[in-house]
A and B are shown apart, each in its own frame.
Chain A
């Protein structure tokens, strides 16, 4: 299985720029996707195929990367962005990262 490693938590102030990283244990090309999950809710697709913004998602969110290293950027961060963010690869049988919990100061 392809293991995805994310940093566990981040704390930033509103208006700042934040980058959330995801490293794959093997190359997944650009078959990497990002989700936002708020407490009590299902995950929501933000970015697909590494850098494509899902319809309806604010342009403050962006994604980059290929191969094994990927980044989700939020710029500027807003209070409503408090959530856990997951990466997921679809190069082979799907796997998800353990999530990065984003808190606002």
Chain B
């Protein structure tokens, strides 16, 4: 059974860079695609971007200029970096597993990120 666990700082200063790690167990990243999804409090989720099993990436066009997703297959980890953070980037950030046809079947527990000085 696949498990995903997010880690990273809970507090980020405005204009700084957010760095998050998703550690995947139970499935190799060379055969499993991972997306990052964020959710402001009280609002619907927002897809941020995806690391495909073959190493290719895709990004939400609204975030593309600030966002980078990478991976380390030897550690089975996927990384998110997003720069120029503002207060409206505050929310819970989830690492999710993507099954066939884009089904977001697996979710990590999420990490709460607050952007504040």
Contact = CB atoms under 8 A, between A and B. Distances in A.
User: Do A and B bind?
Assistant: yes
B100 to A, nearest CB: 9
Interface residues on B, range: 20 to 34
Interface stretch (B17-25, B78-86, B105-113): B105-113
A91 to B, nearest CB: 8
B26 interface: no
Contacts of B103: 33, 45, 48-49, 90
B61 interface: yes
A43 interface: yes
B52 interface: no
Nearest to B95: A42
A98 B108 contact: no
B45 A49 contact: no
Given A49-B103, A90-B101, A42 B94 contact: yes
B105 A45 contact: yes
Nearest to A49: B101
A96 interface: yes
B72 interface: no
B47 A94 contact: yes
Nearest to B99: A48
A93 B99 CA distance: 14
B110 A42 contact: yes
Contact of B102 (A31, A35, A44): A31
Interface of A: 1, 31, 33, 35, 42-45, 48-49, 54, 86, 88, 90, 93-99
Interface of B: 35, 43-47, 58, 60-61, 94, 99, 101-105, 107-110
Given A1-B61, A88-B104, 13 more contacts: A42-B108, A45-B104, A48-B99, A48-B103, A49-B103, A86-B44, A88-B45, A93-B61, A96-B45, A96-B46, A96-B47, A97-B44, A99-B43
